Every structure is written in structure tokens, then in C-alpha cells.
Structure 1
Amino acid sequence: MSLDAATTGPKAEQDKAGAKPTGNGGPYSAQSRLGGHAPRTERTGRALPFDDPRHLQAHHWMVEEAYILDAQNYSDWLDLLTEDIHYIMPVRVTTALTAGYDSAPHMAHFDENKYSLSRRVARFLTEHAWTEDPPSRLRHHISNVRTFATPNPEELIVDTAVLLYRSRGDVREASVISAGREDLLRKVGDGWQLARRTILVDDSVLRTQNLAIFL
């Protein structure tokens, strides 16, 4: 069934409220105002074995990306993204067990396409990026990597846990952001590029100075 198909009843109400995590990031893009262009690819079957060449390639990609983000080489990072990327980090909310959702409807800390991400990066390179001058010291810890096949042999779904340690200056306490990510990797030429990223943070209130970083 297409995610774009109109639905009614309880499921439609849940879609309006903000879907509860299902293991597929596509619904978050479907609800987003900027996600209409985003691929709707979803995982199929169980996670690939850890010795599967596709998993090894995806794991290597994630580690290399983490080092690029640590070094804040954001221009290089943009080269890892497809032109139709959707990058979204929904706002998490605390709800009752039976609510059926745990993200705020149509609200996100990040809701970006390739153009808006490039504008963020361009600002970091100017004298107006006062939130990152002096720059933060970053460390992205990537773990719990799982890779899934998709109906498209040129695309993979990758789950990761990410822990971002961030310190800035000499006075403020360091901050930590814990999150789960669901990524869609697409084969482009001899390598892979990021076509969709859904970030589900583990806090409803972020305990960091700002979000002048990428997860």
C-alpha cells in the first residue's frame, strides 16, 4: 500500500498526530512539508548478516561520515548527500502509553532538503556563525548498526544509534545528545550517498546550547 494513499479512521488520526516509531522513517517524511520529494523506500525482511558485503559497506560509510562530522568538514559532508535528500529530526513529546504517537505533529528540530542544508553549511563559513565561534569539539559515537535490504537493489536502510558528545569554550558544561537514526543509502556510481535520514532523539527537551551541528 502506498504511503501517499489517503486513509481514514484511527490510522489517519495517528498520521496527523505524529506517527509512533515503526522502524521505517518514510512516514515522517510523508508528514513533512518539505518531505514531499523524499523517497518512500522501506525495509524488507530481517537485518542482513554482519558479514554481508552490503552491511560491511554501509557500516564503513557510517564510520567515515562520523569522522567527517567530527571534523566539521561540512562541505565534504554535503557531497555525501543525494539531490533529493530529506533530513528530519521530529520533536519528541511525552504521551500516555496508549496514545499511539510520541512526536509533535508537523514539528521538527530539523526538516531539511539539500538546498536548506547547503544554506546552513554556507552560514557556518561566514563571520556571522557566532554560535560556533569558537567552534564546538564534537565526537559522534556510532553503534548498533543494522542494515536491511529494500525493494530497490540499489538502496539500503541502515539503523544506527548515535551519541554526540559536544563541548564548547572553557566554562559551559559539555552536552550529550542520544538518538536513533534510520538512514536510506543509495548506490551512486562506485559508492553510496545518503538519500533520507530520520533522527529520533531520546529526550523531549534537548540539553544543548543550540543545534548548530548535524547528527
Structure 2
Amino acid sequence: MSEIPGESHWRAVEGFYRREILLLQDRRYREWLGLMDPAVRYHVPVTTSTLQGLVTRENELGYYDEDFTLLSARVDKLESRQSWVEQPPSRLRYFVQVIDVSEEDGASLVVRSNLLLLQYRWNMEQQFSGDRTDTLVPTDGGLRLRHRRVVLDRQSVGKQGLSVFF
């Protein structure tokens, strides 16, 4: 990987994230899927705290380990009103801080960011913070997400369950 010079890459990445955040906060999940590359991998591993720090378990099941088909199935369920965990729908606030953009293989952008997601439903709230690493690929229609890996700071999910995208 090499560092990318110039502001145009940063502006493109920030524009991609602004659009993504608006779609997710407005629960426009079908449009959000349009930001995915057909070969997307969306991975949120389980984390464990150790004396050496936070450890992820790459070869075990995670909270999410999805391809495009599985992400589409999640969206179908959220849109079907059969998802009791989202009745009534959550109010979501995303805060993404891009901290590094680098180029991989001459075309793809690897973006590392900090994520803070606040979820409110009924009188319950959940907060998710973590480190996010994305691979974005340029297409004629703009950037598309090919890979997302989110390492959450928390080790367990509350009683509300996990019905949000990071």
C-alpha cells in the first residue's frame, strides 16, 4: 500500500461516507446496497479483551460475515416488518472520522476510520464504537465498498440485539 497524495481522493471518500451515512440514518437500506460492490465482504468479528489488548477471532463466527447475498437478505428482513427488533424503527446517528486513506494495487482505496454509532429505540440506547477498515473500488458510478472490517470496542451486544449496519 502507498499513501495517496492529493485532496481529490479524500473528497471522494468523504463524499462516499456522507452518502452512506444519510442512507443508513434514513433506513434507505435498498439504496445503501447500491453502494456495495457485487463481491463485497462485510465482516464484524467478535472481540475479546486480553492482557495484550483487544483480540479478534478471525476463523470463528462473527457478528457479521456477509457477502452481497446475505446483506440483501438482511435488508429484505428489515423491510418486511417481520423484524421485531426494529419495531418501532431505531433512531440512528453515525459519526465517522476518516484517519487514513491509502492506495492498494493502483486502483483500490484502503480507508481506515473511527466509528461511533448511537442507536435509540423506545427508552433503550446502544453505543457502538470501533475501528473500521474499508476497501473502496472506483467504478463508473462512483466508489463502491468491496470489503469492510469493523473491530468493535465492545465485546457483547445488548438485549436490543444487533440490527444495525456499521
Correspondence for 2:37: 82
Structure 2 counterpart of 1:162, one-letter code? L
- Structure 1, unaligned stretches of length 5 or more? 1-43
From the superposition, tell whether residues 185 and 144 of structure 1 become closer, same or farther in structure 2 (CA, over 3 Å).
closer
Once residues 190 and 85 of structure 1 are traced to their aligned partners in structure 2, the CA distance between those partners, rounded to angstroms, is 16
Partner of 2:2: 45
The residue aligned with 1:140 is 94
Tell me which moved more, 140-149 or 63-72: 140-149
Q: Which residue in 2 is equivalent to 1:59? A: 14
Partners of 1:57 and 1:208 in 2: how far apart?
Answer: 37
Asked whether the 8 Å contact 1:69–1:77 carries over to 2, the reply is: yes
The answer to whether the 8 A contact 2:45-2:56 is kept is yes
Indicate which of 197, 200, 203 corresponds to 2:148: 197
Aligned equivalents of 2:89 and 2:47: distance in 1? Answer: 27
- CA displacement, residues 9-57 of structure 1 (integer Å, 9 cap, x when unaligned): xxxxxxxxxxxxxxxxxxxxxxxxxxxxxxxxxxx133x35x5211210
Deviation at 1:106, TM superposition (A): 1.4
The alpha-carbon deviation at position 208 of structure 1 amounts to 5.9
1:91-133 CA-to-partner distances (Å, cap 9, x unmatched) read 0011232x9x711341200000000000010011113111101
Give the corresponding residue for 1:164.
117
The one-letter amino acid of 1:142's match is: V
Paired residues of 2:137 and 2:146 also in contact (CA < 8 A): yes
Paired residues of 1:181 and 1:200 also in contact (CA < 8 A):
yes
Report the Cα distance in structure 2 between the residues aligned to 1:197 and 1:87, rounded to whole angstroms: 5
> What TM-score, normalized by structure 1, do the two folds share?
0.72
Report the more deviating stretch, 135-144 or 101-110: 101-110
Please give the alpha-carbon distance, in whole angstroms, between the structure 2 residues aligned to 1:206 and 1:148. Answer: 32
Which 4+ residue blocks in structure 1 deviate beyond 2 angstroms? Answer: 205-208
- CA 1:57/1:168 → structure 2, altered by over 3 Å: closer, same or farther? same
| 2:20 alignment partner AA | E
How many residues align structurally? Answer: 165
- Name the CA distance, whole Å, in 2 between partners of 1:69 and 1:113: 18
Q: Identity of counterpart residues, as a percentage?
A: 25
Structure 2: state its 5+ residue gaps: none
- From the CA coordinates, give the structure whose radius of gyration is larger: 1
